[in-house]
Amino acid sequence: MLPMSDERRWEAHRQDLARRLFNARYHAGWTIRQLADKSGVGMGTIQRVEGAAHVRVTLVRVLALATALDVDPAWLLHGLPSRDGYVKIVI
């Protein structure tokens, strides 16, 4: 089992990812079903990620979601700006 500080850090990371994914989807004007159709990621997976559930999100899925939403994968995963310093969504 991870020390509590690590558990809290991972929980915060899950919540941040959930917020960024939801906001990107919201700004695109898409439902979860539409994002699933455009990204190839299952609706249940998207729902669990947006709900900050304990779910494994593979890099392939992050890339698929980011590509469909037209956001930088580094931003979606970690909140980092894109290489050119521009984040396509301002939240």
Size (the chain), residues: 91
pLDDT, one tens digit per residue, over 54-88 is 778 889 999 999 999 999 999 999 888 765 554 55
Residue 70 belongs to some domain of the structure: yes
Domains in the chain, number: 1
| pLDDT attached to residue 2 | 54
Residue 89 belongs to some domain of the structure: no
This prediction has a pTM of 0.81
pLDDT, one tens digit per residue, over 26-59 is 999 999 999 999 999 999 999 999 998 877 888 9
The angle at the Cα of 22, spanning 33 to 56, to the nearest 5 degrees, equals 80
Residue 13 belongs to some domain of the structure: yes
Q: How far is CA 21 from CA 28, 39, 77, in A?
A: 11, 13, 9
30, 21 Cβ separation under 8 angstroms: no
d(CA 60, CA 42): 13
75, 65 Cβ separation under 8 angstroms: no
Residue 10 belongs to some domain of the structure: yes
**Structural domain of residue 41, as residue ranges?**
4-78
| pLDDT attached to residue 85 | 52
